[in-house]
Amino acid sequence: MTKVTQPCTPFEGQKPGTSGLRKKTRVFMQPGFVECFVQSTFNAVGGVAGKTLVVGGDGRYFNAEAIQIILRMAAANGAKRAIVGQGGLLSTPAASNLIRQRKADGGLILSASHNPGGIDADFGLKYNISNGGPAPEGVTDAIFAQTKTISEYHTLDTADLDLNQIGETALDEMAVEIVDPVTDYADLMQTLFDFDAIRALFAGGFSLRFDAMHAVTGPYATAILEGLLGAPDGTVMNAVPSVDFGKGHPDPNPIWAKPLVDLVMGDDGPDFAAASDGDGDRNMILGRGIYVTPSDSLAVLAANAHLAPGYAGGLAGVARSMPTSRAADRVAEAKGLGCYETPTGWKFFGNLLDAGKVTLCGEESAGTGSDHVREKDGLWAVLLWLNILAARKVSVQDILADHWQTYGRNYYSRHDYEAIATDKANALMTGLTDRMDDLPGTVVGGLTIAGADQFSYTDPVDGSVSRNQGLRIHFEGGGRAVLRLSGTGTEGATLRVYLERYEPAGGDLFLDTQDALSGIIAATRALCQLTETTGRTAPDVMT
Ligand code: VG1
Ligand code: CO
């Protein structure tokens, strides 16, 4: 086994976005591309000599090949140990848990999350730090700086390892430990939730459908829901991970998981349904006849988490990303909890969780999680919902109705305009940014703008500042629109328009969401001259 130091030249654009580096798979497959990014990452964290790393991914096309590259490089860079999920599989929350449980120094997670997989689809790679969470901006900036000057990488001249055999082998001087991807994660879930109560719920005939969308949560959901909790066989749909996610789009929202939504909206649908994404960190929650928006789900979980053993002592506080609806804020206020608003992306929750300022975190993009790991966690959210349903013994619809009647309802929707030419999307955003100061007092589409700003975040723990995190328009009467460009796309630009209107308890709580928001939608489109600038007349995706 010979160590090889290979000269290389930098690749353009190896800049981590909202959640790591995401590119077309063929871009990642260029000779040296993964190597340059991985060596840059190692360099940025002060090298990996003597360190322990967790490595795994969502199983998409090129997952196994990229892991072999990473392991050879980790060994050649002097790492002491690599802990790898069997078959190269680890869900993002399970990887976060392993980093924490095993006190690893960090981890490399291979995923493009909810983006499709395949040679002509998307791939991704990100680095997590020793708390188990995504590298904060200081680290991703350092990685990007390294990618611009990288001149050589270290690897081994050796054959591929067998990733399927559980147990320990060696790669040069590095120990490689192949672990079952599910075991430690399932153990953690049993410390948080009342498995007996959930088991009794299923034994009583309660029905669940969980759509793993041919992605990484399949083995986890099958082992936990059908295995440990006794839900009937077949509860988990699309349970076997495949490299192209069954040619689907593993994004758990009403568009991409439409068959599941149709099922629960039907007359004899299940009591409860849920789905997760490519890497298992997102969740969609449905009850018979109802879709629960992720923002509402966060608020309901904040109001009810104490019903689960892991949170029986109450919550330290709640955090949500800025574009997420303010439904959770109302719960925090009523319960006297700390409440934090962060930029989009889970990396901004890490400090708050580490400092014990918050217990629950959530994003409107179907991400919910807690201080049990440092990533959002799809199956965890499903189990917390199940624990609450087992404790309260009412339907999902009743829980929502009760919640709105207590706290009021934040009608909420996100409209995505995908694959817009980058120059047009930038023109729209700069055009609006330039006008921000003059907007207050302006009437648009019959609504008066009460305030407008560009969101900038000062981390309350380390004081770091993140600017340009989205444009906020506040309308008189409490409505809000947020505009930002996606940082996870791989083609053109995606404009995200987040729309929200609050209806107090006792008001019209059961309107159709798009109808309830129609005034704000029209005003926002007119304000940013959406059609004039982009040529788009309707969003591609509405969640
Ligand atoms: C999107 C979501 C964001 C989420 C990110 C990663 O980012 O809006 O809330 O944290 O994806 O999710 P953007 O920049 O495209 O809006 V996933 O499940 O990668 O891990
Ligand atoms: Co994801």
Bridging pattern class, strands 81-89 and 174-179: parallel
For residue 93, the CA-to-ligand 1 centroid distance in Å is: 15
What average pLDDT does the segment 112-139 reach? Answer: 95
CA distance 539 to 542: 7
Q: Give nearest CA residue, ligand 1 atom 6.
A: 19
Dist. CA 319–CA 250, nearest whole Å: 26
324 pocket-lining for ligand 1 (C-beta < 6 Å): no
pLDDT of residue 107: 98
Tell how far the Cα of 424 is from the centroid of ligand 2, in angstroms.
Answer: 27
The CB density around residue 271, as the number of other CB atoms within 10 Å, is: 16
Please classify residue 493 by burial: count the beta carbons closer than 10 Å to its beta carbon, then call 0-12 exposed, 13-18 middle and 19+ buried.
Answer: buried
375 lines ligand 1 (CB under 6 A): no
* CA-to-CA dists, residue 200 to 228, 288, 316, 360, 408, angstroms: 12, 20, 30, 26, 32
Q: What is the ipTM of this complex?
A: 0.97
User: Residue 20 and residue 1: Cα distance in Å, rounded?
Assistant: 31
Cα 520 to chain center, whole Å? Answer: 27
Residue 253 in contact with ligand 1 by CB distance below 6 A: no
Ligand 1 atom with the shortest distance to the CA of 277:
18
Q: Taking 80 as the threshold, does the pLDDT of residue 1 lie above it?
A: no
- DSSP one-letter code for 192: H
**Distance (Å) from CA 174 to ligand 2 centroid:** 30
The two beta strands, 272-276 and 360-363, are unpaired
Spell out which residues have Cβ within 5 A of ligand 2, the ion: 113, 277, 279, 281-282
Evaluate whether 528 touches 483 at the Cβ level (below 8 Å). yes
* C-alpha distance from residue 114 to each of 278, 355, 505, 528 (Å): 5, 29, 35, 28
User: What pLDDT shows up at residue 478?
Assistant: 87
Cβ burial of 149 (10 Å; 0-12, 13-18, 19+) is: exposed
Atom of ligand 1 nearest to the CA of 364: 9
Which residue's CA is the closest to the ligand 1 atom numbered 19? 113
pLDDT one-digit tens code per residue, 158-201: 999 999 999 999 999 999 999 999 999 999 999 999 999 999 99
What confidence score (pLDDT) does residue 265 get?
Answer: 92
Judged against a pLDDT cut of 90, whether residue 423 lies above it is answered with yes
Give the atom of ligand 1 at the shortest distance from the alpha carbon of 18. Answer: 14
Please give the domain boundaries of the chain with CATH numbers for all domains.
Answer: 2-181 (3.40.120.10), 185-407 (3.40.120.10), 409-542 (3.30.310.50)
pLDDT in tens, 247-277: 999 999 888 899 999 999 988 899 999 999 9
Mean local confidence (pLDDT), 508-516? 94
State how far the Cα of 76 lies from the Cα of 319, in Å rounded to an integer.
40
Q: What is the pLDDT of residue 255?
A: 86
Closest CA to 432 of 454, 464, 401: 454
| C-alpha distances out from residue 263 to 30, 236, 267, 286, 401, Å | 42, 14, 8, 10, 21
Mean pLDDT along residues 335-343: 97
Predicted confidence (pLDDT) per residue in 18-75, tens digit: 889 999 999 999 999 999 999 999 999 999 999 999 999 999 999 999 999 999 999 9
Q: How far is the CA of 274 from the centre of ligand 2 (A)?
A: 15
Tell me the pLDDT tens digit for each residue of 216-229.
999 999 999 999 99
Question: Among all ligands shown, which has an atom nearest to the Cα of 488?
Answer: 1
**Token duo for residue 90:** 């680890």
Q: Is the pLDDT of residue 278 over 90?
A: yes
Distance 254 CA to ligand 1 centre (A): 17
Catalytic center residues: 113
Residue 75 and residue 153 in contact, taking contact as beta carbons nearer than 8 Å: no
Q: What is the pTM of this model?
A: 0.94
HEC readout, 486-502: CCCCCCCEEEEEEEEEE
**pLDDT confidence band for 385 (50 / 70 / 90):** very high
Yes or no: say if 376 and 369 are a contact pair by the CB < 8 Å rule: yes
| Cα separations in angstroms, 47 against 109, 177, 195 | 18, 20, 42
Kindly give the number of the ligand 1 atom that is closest to the alpha carbon of 321.
9
CB of residue 114 inside a 6 A radius of ligand 1: yes
Distance in angstroms (rounded) separating the CA atoms of residues 538 and 360: 34
Residue 465 pLDDT = 94
Q: Which residue's CA lies nearest to atom 13 of ligand 1? A: 486
CA distance 428 to 423: 9
Q: Please give the backbone phi and psi of residue 164, each rounded to the nearest 5 degrees, phi first.
A: -90, -15
Work out the pLDDT band at 490, boundaries 50, 70, 90. Answer: confident
Determine whether the shortest distance from the Cβ of 235 to ligand 1 is under 6 A. no
Compute the distance between CA of residue 293 and CA of residue 62 in angstroms, rounded to an integer.
33
Residue 51 half-sphere exposure toward CB, CA atoms < 13 A: 22
The finding on whether 370 has its CB within 6 A of some atom of ligand 1 is no
Is any ligand 1 atom within 6 A of the Cβ of residue 211?
A: no
Mean of the pLDDT values across residues 399-413?
A: 97
pLDDT of residue 267: 82
Which ligand has an atom closest to residue 58 CA?
Answer: 2
**96 close to ligand 1 (CB < 6 Angstrom):** no
Identify the burial level of 29 via C-beta atoms within 10 angstroms of its C-beta, where 0-12 means exposed, 13-18 middle and 19 or more buried.
Answer: middle
14 φ/ψ angles, rounded to the nearest 5 degrees: -85, 55
Ligand 1 touching residue 487 (CB < 6 A): yes
Q: How many angstroms does the Cα of residue 152 sit away from the middle of ligand 1? A: 32
Other CB atoms closer than 10 Å to residue 397's CB: what's the count?
A: 13
What proportions of the chain, in percent to the nearest 5, are helix, strand and coil?
Answer: 35, 25, 40
251 CA from centroid of ligand 1 (Å):
11
The Å distance, Cα 114 to ligand 2 centre, comes to 5
- Measured from the CB, is residue 496 less than 6 Å from ligand 1? yes
Q: With beta carbons less than 8 A apart as the criterion, state whether 286 and 222 touch.
A: no
Ligand 1 atom closest to Cα of residue 487: 14
Mutate to test the pocket of ligand 1, among 15, 115, 344 (most ligand atoms within 8 A of CB): 344
- Ranges of beta strands (E only) in 397-490 are 409-420, 443-444, 447-454, 457-458, 465-466, 471-475, 480-485
